Structure 1
Amino acid sequence: GVEAAGQALSALGRTGRTIALPTTAPLPAGAPTRVLWRVPSPEYGHDGPEGALQFVDLQRDAAVSDVLRATGAGLRSVEHVKRYTTIGTAHDQGRTSGVMTSGIVAEALGVDVADLGTTRFRPPAVPVSFAALAGRNRGELFDPVRVTAIHPWHVEQGALFENVGQWKRPWYYPRAGETMEEAVLRECRAARTGVAMMDGSTLGKINVQGPDAGVLLDRLYTNLMSTLKVGRVRYGVMCGVDGMAIDDGTVIRVAEQEFLLTTTTGNAAKILEWMEEWLQTEWPDLRVHLTSVTEHWVTIPLVGPHSRDVLALVAPGLDVSNDAFPFMSWQDTTVAGVAARVCRISFSGELAYEINVPAWYGITVWKALYTAGEAFGITAYGTETMHVLRAEKAYPIIGQDTDGTITPQDLGMSWVVSKKKPDFVGKRSFNRAENQRDDRKQLVGLLPTDERVLLPEGAQIIATSDIPEPPVPMLGHVTSSYRSDALQRTFALALVRSGTRRIGETLYVPLDGRTVPVTVTDPVLFDKEGARRDG
C-alpha cells in the first residue's frame, strides 16, 4: 500500500536503484486481519542491516534497524528505546512515529503492544496546561511573603499589616477600641512630642565595593557621592535616562572603597538590577562589586525629642550629643550589647537615629530599646504614621508622589542635582524643551478649606468651582493625603501644573458630585526651618 510505497521511495532516494514493490492482494470479505507495523523489505545484501531502509521517524531519520539495535542491546521499554534512538524527540513528539515504534518493539520482543504502550507526547505536539506553566508558583508560593526579624513582636502587639513589595509591614498598632485614625494620630503625637520607633528593616540595602565605587555612584546619582567622607551620610536621587526620578535614599561611606546605599522598599530589586545593567553592559571596566544586603540588617528608626535619651540608655559608650554625633553622620558602637551601626538620619523631621544591627539580633535590640523607652512613653508606629510624618515635611515617596514623569526639579529638589559633575544618567534630558516647560507639574501642598475633609489620593484638581462639561481640564492630582495631629487638620500633597506659581491660589477637587475648595501652599507644612532636627 501507500506506506510500503513511501518506504520504497525513500530507499530509492538513498540508493538511486529500482526496487520491486511488494504487492498486497485485497482480503476476502470476512477474512481475519492483523496489524502490520512494517512491510517485509526486500533483501538488500550489503546495503545494511535488516530494516535499514525502512524509516520509522522521518524527522529524526530513524529506521527499523535502529529500533532492532535497541532491542538487541537489551532495552525493553519504549521510553528507553526512544532515548536510545531519538525516535519521538522531534517537533511531532512521536505523534507520527510513536505507535509504529511500539508495534515494532512488540514484534521484536514477542509481546503484546498493548502492554508496551506509547511514549509520552510533549509540547508542542500537545498543549501546555496552566498548572504546568504555574509550576510551584501557586497559593502561598505565588508571591512569597517576606517578614522582618521583628515580625513576631509586631504580631504579639496586635499590629495590622500592609503589603509593601513582598514584605509584611506593620501598618499601625490599634489599642482596644481605637479606630485606625485614632491609632495613627496617637502614634504621630508620640513621634512629635516624645519618642517612637518603627521597623524599617525592609529598606533596600546595597553594598558597593571596589576602587571605582565612587565613580559608579557619581554616574548614577544626580549629586556627587565620591566626595563623601568616611563616617558621613548623603541623600541622593537616581534618574532614568529621561531625567525622571526613579528612586531615592541615603548613601553611607563605610570606607574609602566601600559604600552602603539604601533604596525604597518596593524598588530594592529594581535598583539593584538597574545598577548591574549599567555596570555590566555600559561600564564593564569599572572595578566595582554590588551586593544586596537587605536581609542582613535590621534597621530601627528611633524618633522624637526623647530619642537621644533612650539611645543613651542602651548605648552608654556612644556620645549622642549634637557636637559629637552630628546630623547625617554614622558611628559604629554597641547597642544593648550588640555591635551596631547608628546613623543620624531622619525621615520625619524630628531628632532621629537609625539603628542597624545584624538580623540575628534584631528582636533583642528592639525589645531593649522598647524597655528603655517605657519611662518616656515610647510608642511603636507603623507605615501609615511614617507617611504622615514625612508628608508634613514634604519628603516625597518615589512612586507615590511621582508618576514616572517627574524630575527632581519638579519636586522642588534642584539642590540635589549637581552642577559640578560633567555627566550622570539623565542629565542630558534636563535640557529637553519638554523638561524646560514652565507649566510642568510640580509638588505642592493642599489645604482643604474645610479642615475636616480628607481628600482621596488620586483625586483630580480643577480650576473652577463648577464641574464643566467633559472634557474637563485637569491641573493635576492628589498624591498623598492625611489627617495631621501636628497641624490639627487634614492636608495633602499634589502634583499641579505650574504649582509653585499657584501658591496662595484656590483650586477645586471634585468629590461626590461637588467640588471641595483647596488652598495651594508650599509643600513643607511643618517645621519649615528644620529646627526640630537636632532636638
Structure 2
Amino acid sequence: MLRYDERLGAFVPHREVDAADVAASRSGTTFVPHREVDALRRPLPRSHEKFVPHTGVDGLAIAGSAAGKFGLREALDSSHKAVREALVDLRLAHSPSRPPEVEEDRDHTPGAVLWFVPSDDPHKLTTHFVDMQRDATVADIAHAISAGLRSVEHVKRYTTIGTAHDQGKTSGTVASGIVAEISGEKMSSLGTTRFRPPYTPVAFAALAGRARGHLFDPVRVTAIHDWHIAHGAEFEDVGQWKRPRYYPRNGEDMHAAVKRETIAARNAVGILDGSTLGKIDVQGPDAAEFLDRIYTNIMSTLKIGSIRYGVMCGVDGMVIDDGTVLRTEEDRFLVYTTTGGAARVLDWLEEWLQTEWPELRVYLSSATEHLVTFPVVGPRSRAVIGELFPDLDASNEAFPFMTWRDTKLANIPVRIARVSFSGELAYEVSVLSWYGLELWTRLIETGAKHGITPYGTEAMHVLRAEKGYPIVGQDTDGTVTPQDLGMSWVVSKKKLDFIGKRSFDRAANRDDTRRQLVGLLPDDPTKLIPEGSQLVTIESLDHATVPITMDGFVTSSYDSHALGSTFALALLVGGSTRLGEKINAVVNGELLPATITNHVLFDQEGVRRDG
C-alpha cells in the first residue's frame, strides 16, 4: 500500500493498515471545458486536482462540483444561487424559493490525488496505461519529458495521448497530472491541451469498437443470402459481409453442426458460399509486369487457363494478403483476395499504380459483387460437377489442379476452377451474381444423392487449419513473412525486384529465432487451447520468474474429427526447429501441455487433392 505524506508531498510505502469502516478511492471529476476557451479554466488545490472554469464570464453560470463545491449542501446552495441569478439576468419571472433542506456537510478526510502508482522499476511503468485507445503509458510520458518536452501540447503529440476517438476526454486530465507529477510542475502552469470546436460527446459504443449494435458500415450480403436464412444459417460478420457460420439441424449446437459439415466435406461432398472473396479485374498491356512487382512470385509466366497462388507483402517484407490469380487473356488477370482485405488491396494496388508506376498501362476494377463463387468440395465433388456439366471433362488429366475452364449451364456462361482451400478434391464454380441462386440450387439438387452438405465459415476454418493453410490477419499479425509461414517457395529468387524484396535481406528477417507457424497437439485431446493463449517453456507458474518469457501464441484452435483430437496453429519462436518438443499454453492460470508439430497436420502428402 501507499500513503500520502503531507510533509513530503508524495506517496510513500505504507505497510500498516489503519482501522477504518470503508476505504475508498476515486478518480477526479473534471468540468467539461470544450465549449469555453482555455482562459476560462483554473486548477483547484491538490486535494481535488481538477480543472474548473473561471467565474465572472457573461452568460456562463457555474455550480456544484464544476465550481469546486463538493459537499452536498454547498453544491445545492451554489446551484440554487446560479439558477436564481440566471433567471434574473434573463428577466424571467420566478417564485421565491429556497434550496432543499439537507444535513450539514460532514467533515471528511481530505482527498489526495494518485495519478499513477510510483515504481522503482521503470519496466512496470510500461504497463501503466493512460490512453487505452492509443496504448499509451506512463513510460511514454516519462520518455517525452526526458526528451526535453514540457508543454502538454508537445507531450500529447509525442505520445499520441488524446488523439483517438474520445479526443482526450478519458485521458487528457490524467495525462496533465502525470506530466506535472514527473516534471515537478504545477498543473495550473501546465493547463490542458487546446480544445477545438465543435464539441461532440464521445459515445461509449465508440470506445467499445464493433462490440455493439448496428454501425454505419453497410451490411453486405451475397446473392443467395435469403437461401441461407431459409435454411437456418447462423451468421457471422466477416469484414462488412454477413457469412453463414454454420447450419444447425434439429437443435444442433455449433460444435455438432461443424463436425457434421466437416465430415461431409472430407468423406462425401460439401458446398460453401465463397462469394465474399475479393475479386479484382487487372487488365492492360502492362498487367503482367505490374503483378510481378506486386506479388512475391512470378505472375507473368502464368499461362491462359492456369491459376497461381500468390502472396503480397508490404515494403517491410511482411505478409499483407494472399490469394489466387487467374490469367484469362494475354493482358488480363482476375485477382482473388481475402474477404476482409478486398478494399484495402484494391487501394494498395491503385496507390502503387498511380503514385509510383504511372507509366504502366494497367486498369483496375473491383469485380467482387459481379461474381458469385461456390466451392464444391470433397471426394464426390467430381461426380456432382460431371453430372451438372456433362460437356465438361472433370478428370485430372483433362482438368488438372490449378487450372480453370469455361462451360455453360442452360446457355449461361460458368467458370470452374480447380482450387482447394481444404486439401480435398474441389471445384470452385463461378457465375454472374444474378444467376447465383439458380446455380446454387442446381448444385444442391444434383448433389443430393451424393450427400451434398452446405457448410459455413467455421467448418471452412477447421478444414483449412488441418491442412496448415494460414489466414492473413488471423495467423499473421503484421510481423510475419512468407518464410515464417513455411512458404519460402512463394518468394521468387529470379525476379529482379518486387515489393518487400530488399527487406528479406535484413538481419531481423533472416533470424532463425523468428516466430514461425507450427501445429500444436494437446496432450489431452479433449482440451481446446483458446486462441491467443501464450506459449511458455516453464513447467510451473508457482515459482516462475516474472516477467515470464513468452515463446509464442496460438493463432487458430479447433476440434478436429479427422484428427480425432483438438489442435491449434501457433506462431512460435524458432518453431521449425522445435518439432516434436513439448510446450505449455497458459490457460486460465494453468499450464496446458502440447506437442509441437508441423503446421500441416492432415494429409501431409497431399494425395487427397486429386480425389
TM-score, normalization by structure 1: 0.74
**Does the 8 Å CA contact 1:465/1:517 hold for their aligned counterparts?**
no
**Does the 8 Å CA contact 1:147/1:169 hold for their aligned counterparts?**
yes
Map Cα deviations across residues 151-210 of structure 1 (whole Å, 9 max, x no partner): 000000000000000000000000112111110010000000000000000000000000
Q: Match for 2:532 among 450, 453, 458?
A: 458
**Does the 8 Å CA contact 1:401/1:480 hold for their aligned counterparts?**
yes
Structure 2 partner of 1:319 = 393
Q: Match for 1:286 among 360, 377, 383?
A: 360
Instruction: Specify whether residues 208 and 504 from structure 1 end up closer, same or farther in structure 2 by C-alpha distance, changes over 3 A only.
Output: same
1:294 partner SS:
coil
Correspondence 1:127 to 2:205: no
1:522 maps to a residue whose letter is N
Map Cα deviations across residues 406-452 of structure 1 (whole Å, 9 max, x no partner): 00000000000001100000000000011111100000000000000
Structure 1 partner of 2:515 = 441
**Does the 8 Å CA contact 1:172/1:180 hold for their aligned counterparts?**
yes
1:127 maps to a residue whose letter is P
Correspondence 1:532 to 2:603: no
Structure 2 partner of 1:428 = 502
Structure 2 partner of 1:483 = 559
Q: What is the distance in 1 between the residues matched to 2:298 and 2:307? A: 12
Q: What is the distance in 1 between the residues matched to 2:462 and 2:415? A: 27
Structure 2 partner of 1:411 = 485
2:512 partner SS:
coil
Q: What is the distance in 2 between the residues matched to 1:391 and 1:342? A: 24
Instruction: Specify whether residues 229 and 142 from structure 1 end up closer, same or farther in structure 2 by C-alpha distance, changes over 3 A only.
Output: same
1:470 Cα offset (Å)? 2.1
Q: What is the distance in 2 between the residues matched to 1:130 and 1:256? A: 55
Structure 1 partner of 2:291 = 217
1:139 Cα offset (Å)? 7.8
Q: Match for 2:333 among 259, 269, 275?
A: 259
TM-score, normalization by structure 2: 0.65
Map 1:65-144; keep pairs closer than 5 Å: 127=198, 140=214, 142-144=216-218
Map 1:205-354; keep pairs closer than 5 Å: 205-335=279-409, 337-354=411-428
2:485 partner SS:
coil
Q: What is the distance in 2 between the residues matched to 1:314 and 1:376? A: 13
2:489 partner SS:
helix
1:143 Cα offset (Å)? 1.3
Structure 2 partner of 1:94 = none
Q: What is the distance in 1 between the residues matched to 2:524 and 2:453? A: 30
Q: What is the distance in 2 between the residues matched to 1:394 and 1:129? A: 47
1:513 Cα offset (Å)? 2.2
Map Cα deviations across residues 14-51 of structure 1 (whole Å, 9 max, x no partner): xxxxxxxxxxxxxxxxxxxxxxxxxxxxxxxxxxxxxx
Correspondence 1:474 to 2:550: yes
Gaps in structure 2 of 5+ consecutive residues: 1-194, 207-211
Structure 2 partner of 1:370 = 444
Larger radius of gyration between Structure 1 and Structure 2: 1
Q: What is the distance in 2 between the residues matched to 1:335 and 1:228? A: 27
1:451 partner SS:
coil
1:478 maps to a residue whose letter is V
1:335 Cα offset (Å)? 3.3
1:126 Cα offset (Å)? 7.0
Structure 2 partner of 1:168 = 242
Structure 1 partner of 2:231 = 157
Moved more, 412-421 or 508-517: 508-517
Map 1:392-403; keep pairs closer than 5 Å: 392-403=466-477
2:279 partner SS:
strand
**Does the 8 Å CA contact 1:461/1:507 hold for their aligned counterparts?**
yes
Correspondence 1:385 to 2:459: yes
**Does the 8 Å CA contact 1:338/1:365 hold for their aligned counterparts?**
no
Instruction: Specify whether residues 209 and 254 from structure 1 end up closer, same or farther in structure 2 by C-alpha distance, changes over 3 A only.
Output: same
Q: What is the distance in 2 between the residues matched to 1:486 and 1:260? A: 34
Structure 1 partner of 2:569 = 493
Q: What is the distance in 2 between the residues matched to 1:232 and 1:219? A: 19
Runs ≥4 in structure 1, deviation > 4 angstroms?
A: 128-131, 138-141
1:178 maps to a residue whose letter is E
Map Cα deviations across residues 209-258 of structure 1 (whole Å, 9 max, x no partner): 00000000000000000000000000000000000000000000000000
Q: What is the distance in 2 between the residues matched to 1:506 and 1:144? A: 46
**Does the 8 Å CA contact 1:327/1:344 hold for their aligned counterparts?**
yes
Q: What is the distance in 2 between the residues matched to 1:352 and 1:192? A: 11
Q: What is the distance in 2 between the residues matched to 1:414 and 1:139? A: 42
Q: What is the distance in 2 between the residues matched to 1:336 and 1:320? A: 18
Structure 1 partner of 2:155 = none
**Does the 8 Å CA contact 1:314/1:336 hold for their aligned counterparts?**
no
1:130 Cα offset (Å)? 6.6
1:337 Cα offset (Å)? 4.7
1:149 maps to a residue whose letter is A
Q: What is the distance in 2 between the residues matched to 1:230 and 1:163? A: 35
1:295 partner SS:
coil
Q: What is the distance in 2 between the residues matched to 1:163 and 1:423? A: 37
1:140 Cα offset (Å)? 4.8
Instruction: Specify whether residues 532 and 139 from structure 1 end up closer, same or farther in structure 2 by C-alpha distance, changes over 3 A only.
Output: closer
Structure 2 partner of 1:85 = none
1:261 maps to a residue whose letter is V
1:469 Cα offset (Å)? 3.5
2:383 partner SS:
helix
Q: What is the distance in 1 between the residues matched to 2:284 and 2:522? A: 51
2:217 maps to a residue whose letter is D
1:265 partner SS:
coil
1:512 Cα offset (Å)? 2.2
**Does the 8 Å CA contact 1:336/1:368 hold for their aligned counterparts?**
no
1:128 Cα offset (Å)? 6.0
Q: Match for 1:523 among 599, 603, 608?
A: 599
2:248 partner SS:
coil
Q: What is the distance in 1 between the residues matched to 2:390 and 2:498? A: 43
1:171 partner SS:
strand
Structure 1 partner of 2:69 = none
Aligned alpha-carbon RMSD (Å): 1.6
Map Cα deviations across residues 446-494 of structure 1 (whole Å, 9 max, x no partner): 0000000001000000001212142110000000000001111100000
Paired residues in the alignment total 407
Q: What is the distance in 1 between the residues matched to 2:215 and 2:487? A: 41
Q: What is the distance in 2 between the residues matched to 1:240 and 1:164? A: 23
2:552 maps to a residue whose letter is G
Instruction: Specify whether residues 336 and 449 from structure 1 end up closer, same or farther in structure 2 by C-alpha distance, changes over 3 A only.
Output: farther
Q: What is the distance in 2 between the residues matched to 1:427 and 1:227? A: 19
2:528 maps to a residue whose letter is L
2:369 partner SS:
helix
Q: What is the distance in 2 between the residues matched to 1:164 and 1:483? A: 21
Moved more, 328-337 or 506-515: 328-337
Q: What is the distance in 1 between the residues matched to 2:196 and 2:222? A: 46
Q: What is the distance in 2 between the residues matched to 1:398 and 1:483? A: 21
Q: Match for 2:431 among 357, 365, 383?
A: 357
Structure 2 partner of 1:187 = 261
**Does the 8 Å CA contact 1:185/1:485 hold for their aligned counterparts?**
yes
**Does the 8 Å CA contact 1:336/1:365 hold for their aligned counterparts?**
no
1:443 partner SS:
strand
Percentage identity across aligned positions? Answer: 63
2:572 maps to a residue whose letter is V
